[in-house]
Structure 1
Amino acid sequence: MTSARLAIWAFRLIATVFALLVMTQPIWIGLFLQGEFDQLAVHRAVGGAAIAATWLVFAGAVAIGWLARLGWWPAALSVGMFFALAGQFVVGMQRATALHIPLGVVLIGIAGALAVWSWLPMTRHLSRSRSRSSAPPDAASADSHQRLDTLRGSSQ
């Protein structure tokens, strides 16, 4: 397995776990609202874990950007998610639900979309970037030399 494919698989797993962390948040707060008051601590802990997990998403995104040449937008998105989740944590601790709930819905959508994107077929990107870089550096020059020799031979 190439390092690019390994990076893609690692990113897929990280993005999926991250999305699951974010997507379970409504469950924990729903249980709290039903009277299971200890679930608020779970909601808080999972929120903290999601914030920390954004750095794993960032590391995976850098890996796929660098090794698989899939672009840098996932890395930028993960940095944005870090700040949004940190803000989400702060407004949640202040019990500002008018902001906390809509922001949570947006974050769930973004995390879910990133996880779904990570599972889309990415091999065409790999084959395209590999076709540019896998040819030996002198293959193009050898072809040029052959054409030049052909032109020289025809003019003599």
Structure 2
Amino acid sequence: MSSPPAAPAPRWPLILLRTSTTLLALLSLLQVMLAGSFLNGTYESLKDHEGTGMVLATVVVVQLAGAAAVRWHGRGPLWPLWTTALLAGAVTGQIAAGYARALGVHVTLGVLLVSGVLFGLVGAWRLPLPARNVRVAGGPDGAGRLPRPGGPVEVSQ
């Protein structure tokens, strides 16, 4: 007797990961613009840079939860989890370097962080999204399921 086929992986963990990585990338680019604005002499943008950094840290925690869900609920790869954990540690160090006014460390780590965030964004969007489990009453196979695209199609005469 064979075991029943495994249920397909849920889509929501990967959608959460994609959403959080996209938001993290947008916030990272906003941080770069605010830092540049500060260096150009708009000193009020430093307060916005600080606030955006706190929002960015919050999104990294959400992304960490999403990466854990991709691994366990979605039966996905391990790399999003450990790379997001590394990003969380780097963001913590970045905040500490900013408050300590260690600008050499802060700017260097900021460049590395933006690079890591963008690589994570590309990686998250390259993970294949599981197919939806669509059920329609009275479908072609009698069980209410539609055939998968590209699969065999039977024509009754």
TM-score (norm 2): 0.72
Q: Does 1:60 align with 2:66?
A: yes
Between 64-73 and 84-93, report the one with greater CA deviation.
64-73
2-structure distance, mates of 1:121, 1:55: 20
Matches within 5 A, 1:35-114: 35-114=41-120
Counterpart of 2:72, as a letter, is W
- Against the structure 1 CA distance between its residues 121 and 78, is the aligned structure 2 distance closer, same or farther, given a 3 Å change threshold? closer
Deviation track 1:92-130 (CA, whole Å, cap 9, x = no partner) reads 11221111111111100111111111111514xx58xxx
Runs of 5+ unmatched residues, structure 1: 128-156
Q: 1:25 — aligned with what?
A: 31
Structure 1 residues 104-143: aligned runs within 5 Å = 104-123=110-129, 126=130
Q: Residue by residue, what CA displacement relative to the aligned partner does 1:32-83 show, whole Å, maximum 9, x if unpaired?
A: 1222111000111111111111110011101111122222221122122111
| C-alpha distance in structure 1 between counterparts of 2:79 and 2:9, whole Å | 20
- 3-state SS of paired residue (1:119): helix
Q: TM-score, normalising length from structure 1?
A: 0.73
**Structure 2 residue 10 is the aligned partner of structure 1 residue 4:** yes
Shift in CA distance, 3/42, structure 1 to aligned 2, threshold 3 Å: farther
% identical aligned pairs: 28
1:138 corresponds in structure 2 to none
Aligned residues of 2:27 and 2:52 also touching (Cα < 8 A): yes
For these two proteins, the number of residue pairs brought into alignment is 124
Structure (1 or 2) with the greater helix fraction = 1
Q: Which runs of 5+ in 2 are unaligned?
A: 1-7, 132-157
